[in-house]
Chains A and B, each alone.
Chain A
């Protein structure tokens, strides 16, 4: 089940609101029970057969969390920590990487017979979330949760279960047992959710239609303009798709009294790739920073070791996104850019006019998305050639994509910029004047308009897949 579906909007959500808010606030356990039951049902809608994997992950993290808690013998704590790492990553490795490993070994002549493995939805997200819990407990950064249902609720909480953001236990530990739902939070959450829904339905899906049509063609015969339009469309699709999901998750969390951290901060306005990664999928980059990069020594070791640490992090980041060489290359591309900015051209870049810095980031990121979207490295190479004008064919398709989707292109360009932040800075939050009224009413009216437009799109049964489910 996806958030942008009638099943979710008209059945799941009303049923959950009814069951959840009918229970008085003082029965926190009851409300949490409802939330957990609905979260497990939400996950089961993607396939009941995957539910045991999620429950197994919860059980492992719960038990390992108990073992890793301060106060126990150091050996037990270490066993808890490493148990969670080995079992969690083992589960992820089996479901996500065994097929990839087998395919590569068979190319080397080593045959590894594996059964048909289907990737459970959201396994990368809930595995990392569970690991962060045990590691934080081991480090003493978060309290150990002795109630298994609350560990289950943390891992399986439906807003962020299948596509993030990766919520740290420390962020919500307090709120699991002691949150305060309110009308104000509900309203704010609804607005945020509807903005996410609108981004997904109106912008991401439209850009996805373009990207899918372009990337379905062999790049050997693709005109340069078409290749650029396809790359630009995918660049916008992946941002609006993923950030929309994060908006919806944050909004849904807020309705139930949870406060998840922001996951995106207008990444396409970054002026360096380093800055881009401070603004893009913040929960993932901070996860790798805190649980891989810093434990490896971070930037405090020798320059060579620092580079090695960076390479490890980006190899893992690439593989986290998918078990394919294109993702490894994607990670490698960002390693080169980040290492280059740190050691070679970073200072020079900072002295360039702003427009060149923006252009550099957009080109670098767009190239990375071509790698990310391509089915294999050969396709990506041919696509890059097409972008350089070495393909062929006519460019009618590019003109069609621009004319057909001109409202969406325009809206995407505006929505990718921090217009909202700019407006908020100029409109007073309190007061009785026109500006204050605009600030109070406009987001809500806009959210309701987006709900209506999204419903029109949903009812007219258009194109509606979520990209980040595959991770």
Chain B
């Protein structure tokens, strides 16, 4: 019996290694992990320096881990095991009874640091504000709540919800912007007066709902109209029909925990009762005349790219109503559902995603097109980050 066991052990061990090697060599290569919403490590190229300091083999280990045979299946298996074991955080996602929330690391909230970052960001925005006001335009920096802010109360008591930090950031940013005379809108604070932002926050994704986007649209335009005296229509909810799609929403919280969690949620769209004809260009190319990327059928899962087709470097929408002003909206994906509504109030609507746009800098774009309104929309996580869509030009 001992001899049989030893033979079997050796065969299983060697078989595992051989099968793993073969599967690794024969596997189809992928660049993106859909479920993790990230790029997979690229095959490293050896160079004299990387071989000399060992970084080549470190990169190779990362590459092999990312492209391991059966990786997605094993990732799902691990996730299922972690959920079964009752871990409060799975794949950096806090699993509560109702929601999937981001895990926020523990740390110290230093008022001094927050004030410093707020000051740096406000300096950056003051530069953009100066460029816009120079030709008579109006700049507004709108900060919107992300999921962790809206659903801070849902975190278990022992996990960090960053509630205090969010308050400190918001107050510090408002102070810094006021000191520099840059218009600032805290959507979270504004919504707190009307039932709070939780009603608009997704349970499985970082972004707000279509209704949250509508509130953001309304607040931005009301403040812009009040500050500038410009005339443009601000639509109310009565001007729209709310349509909820029957499709399953695959939120971004680790793609709804690798689609193992059946927390059903649907996305909605707002359709104007009086449609406004328009033409749309994405990155300089004609792109039809829709603002929603609707699924082919009710069985197809939808994600946040439903709005405007996702993060596109540059979109321009013309409605041919020259009596109305033009607007430039830039920011992260929170801008997308707002853009689905904004074009209804303007002649020209420009949108930029500076993470992808490479043709020119933000200030050059503003100087070239001179939109009457320039609005930057960022969420609480990134409100003090000058890179990417912070517009650090």
Q: Which of A218, A444, A459 contacts B8 (CB 8 A)?
A: A444
Q: Give the dominant DSSP class at A's interface.
A: helix
A48-B51, A213-B106, A440-B2 given; A10·B57 CB < 8 A: no
Q: Which of B75, B87, B108 contacts A403 (CB 8 A)?
A: B87
Which single residue of chain A is at the shortest CB-CB distance from B14? A17
Residues in A neighbouring B65, C-beta threshold 8 A: 5-6, 458-459, 461
Which single residue of chain A is at the shortest CB-CB distance from B79? A460
The number of residue pairs between A and B whose CB atoms lie closer than 8 Å in the complex comes to 138
Residues B64 and A217 in contact, CB atoms below 8 Å apart: no
One of B17-25, B190-198, B299-307 contacting the partner? B17-25
Measured CB to CB, the closest approach of chain A to B11, in angstroms, equals 10
A217 to B57, CA, bound (A): 31
Residues in B neighbouring A440, C-beta threshold 8 A: 1-2, 5
Which single residue of chain A is at the shortest CB-CB distance from B66? A461
Residues A191 and B53 in contact, CB atoms below 8 Å apart: no
Residues A396 and B64 in contact, CB atoms below 8 Å apart: no
Residues B53 and A187 in contact, CB atoms below 8 Å apart: no
Cβ of B387 under 8 Å from chain A: no
Which single residue of chain A is at the shortest CB-CB distance from B106? A397
A81 to B180, CA, bound (A): 74
Cβ of B293 under 8 Å from chain A: no
A396 to B159, CA, bound (A): 6
Q: Which of B8, B21, B66, B71 contacts A10 (CB 8 A)?
A: B21
Which single residue of chain B is at the shortest CB-CB distance from A13? B17
Residues A183 and B10 in contact, CB atoms below 8 Å apart: yes
Cβ of B74 under 8 Å from chain A: yes
Interface centre among B12, B20, B52 (most CB of A within 10 A): B20
Cβ of B60 under 8 Å from chain A: yes
A residues 1-17 with Cβ under 8 Å of B? 1-2, 5-7, 9-11, 13-14, 17
Residues in A neighbouring B20, C-beta threshold 8 A: 6, 9-10, 455
Measured CB to CB, the closest approach of chain B to A401, in angstroms, equals 9
Cβ of A221 under 8 Å from chain B: yes
B43-66 contact mask (Cβ, 8 Å, vs A): 1 or 0: 000000001111001001110111
Cβ of B229 under 8 Å from chain A: no
Q: Count residues of A near B (Cβ-Cβ below 8 Å).
A: 55
Residues in B neighbouring A17, C-beta threshold 8 A: 14, 17
Residues B160 and A1 in contact, CB atoms below 8 Å apart: no
Residues A7 and B60 in contact, CB atoms below 8 Å apart: yes
Residues A6 and B64 in contact, CB atoms below 8 Å apart: yes
A232 to B183, CA, bound (A): 51
Measured CB to CB, the closest approach of chain A to B113, in angstroms, equals 13
Interface centre among B10, B62, B66 (most CB of A within 10 A): B10
A407 to B87, CA, bound (A): 9
Residues in A neighbouring B369, C-beta threshold 8 A: none
Residues in B neighbouring A217, C-beta threshold 8 A: 106-108
Measured CB to CB, the closest approach of chain A to B8, in angstroms, equals 7
Cβ of B356 under 8 Å from chain A: no
Residues B64 and A7 in contact, CB atoms below 8 Å apart: yes
Cβ of B321 under 8 Å from chain A: no
A375 to B87, CA, bound (A): 31
A291 to B6, CA, bound (A): 40
Cβ of A432 under 8 Å from chain B: yes
Residues B75 and A459 in contact, CB atoms below 8 Å apart: yes
Cβ of A94 under 8 Å from chain B: no
Residues A456 and B77 in contact, CB atoms below 8 Å apart: yes
Residues in A neighbouring B68, C-beta threshold 8 A: 6, 455, 458-459
Cβ of A404 under 8 Å from chain B: yes
A403 to B159, CA, bound (A): 11
Cβ of A101 under 8 Å from chain B: no
Interface centre among A10, A17, A437, A456 (most CB of B within 10 A): A10
Residues A183 and B106 in contact, CB atoms below 8 Å apart: no
Cβ of A400 under 8 Å from chain B: yes
Cβ of A447 under 8 Å from chain B: yes
Residues A1 and B61 in contact, CB atoms below 8 Å apart: yes
Measured CB to CB, the closest approach of chain A to B256, in angstroms, equals 17
A458 to B71, CA, bound (A): 9
Residues in B neighbouring A6, C-beta threshold 8 A: 20, 24, 61, 64-65, 68
Residues B10 and A187 in contact, CB atoms below 8 Å apart: yes
Residues in B neighbouring A406, C-beta threshold 8 A: 85
A186-197 contact mask (Cβ, 8 Å, vs B): 1 or 0: 111011001000
Residues B5 and A444 in contact, CB atoms below 8 Å apart: yes
Cβ of B34 under 8 Å from chain A: no
Cβ of B105 under 8 Å from chain A: yes
Which single residue of chain B is at the shortest CB-CB distance from A437? B1
Which single residue of chain A is at the shortest CB-CB distance from B64? A6
Q: Which of A46, A397, A432, A457 contacts B158 (CB 8 A)?
A: A397
A187 to B10, CA, bound (A): 5
Cβ of B130 under 8 Å from chain A: no
A190 to B9, CA, bound (A): 8
A16 to B159, CA, bound (A): 47
Residues A218 and B108 in contact, CB atoms below 8 Å apart: yes
Cβ of B127 under 8 Å from chain A: no
Q: Which of A432, A436, A451 contacts B16 (CB 8 A)?
A: A451
Cβ of A399 under 8 Å from chain B: yes
Cβ of A336 under 8 Å from chain B: no
Measured CB to CB, the closest approach of chain A to B37, in angstroms, equals 14
Residues A10 and B10 in contact, CB atoms below 8 Å apart: no
A10-B64, A404-B87 given; A191·B9 CB < 8 A: yes
Measured CB to CB, the closest approach of chain B to A197, in angstroms, equals 11
Residues A10 and B17 in contact, CB atoms below 8 Å apart: yes
Residues A186 and B10 in contact, CB atoms below 8 Å apart: yes
A190-B9, A217-B108, A456-B77 given; A14·B87 CB < 8 A: no
Cβ of B312 under 8 Å from chain A: no
B residues 83-116 with Cβ under 8 Å of A? 85-89, 105-108
Residues A400 and B159 in contact, CB atoms below 8 Å apart: yes
Cβ of B78 under 8 Å from chain A: yes
A458 to B61, CA, bound (A): 10
Residues A9 and B54 in contact, CB atoms below 8 Å apart: no
Residues in A neighbouring B7, C-beta threshold 8 A: 183, 187
Residues in B neighbouring A460, C-beta threshold 8 A: 71, 74-75, 78
Which single residue of chain A is at the shortest CB-CB distance from B40? A461
Residues A1 and B1 in contact, CB atoms below 8 Å apart: no
Residues in B neighbouring A147, C-beta threshold 8 A: none
Cβ of A356 under 8 Å from chain B: no
Residues B85 and A407 in contact, CB atoms below 8 Å apart: yes
Q: Which of A2, A48, A397, A447 contacts B52 (CB 8 A)?
A: A48
Cβ of A347 under 8 Å from chain B: no
Measured CB to CB, the closest approach of chain A to B76, in angstroms, equals 10
Residues B74 and A456 in contact, CB atoms below 8 Å apart: yes
A445-470 contact mask (Cβ, 8 Å, vs B): 1 or 0: 00110010001111111000000000
A295 to B212, CA, bound (A): 78
Listed by A's residue number, 11 A-B pairs whose Cβ atoms lie within 8 Å are: A2-B61, A14-B18, A14-B21, A46-B57, A396-B157, A400-B158, A400-B159, A440-B2, A448-B16, A459-B68, A460-B78
Interface residues, chain B, with chain A CB atoms under 8 Å away: 1-3, 5-10, 12-14, 16-18, 20-21, 24, 51-54, 57, 60-62, 64-66, 68-71, 74-75, 77-78, 85-89, 105-108, 157-160
| Contacts A10-B21, A46-B54, A456-B78 known; 20 new A-B pairs at CB < 8 A | A1-B61, A5-B65, A13-B17, A14-B14, A17-B14, A47-B53, A186-B6, A188-B6, A217-B108, A396-B157, A397-B158, A451-B16, A456-B77, A458-B68, A459-B68, A459-B69, A459-B74, A460-B71, A460-B75, A461-B65
Q: Which 8 A-B pairs have the closest CB atoms?
A: A47-B54, A396-B158, A459-B68, A187-B6, A399-B158, A6-B64, A45-B57, A49-B52
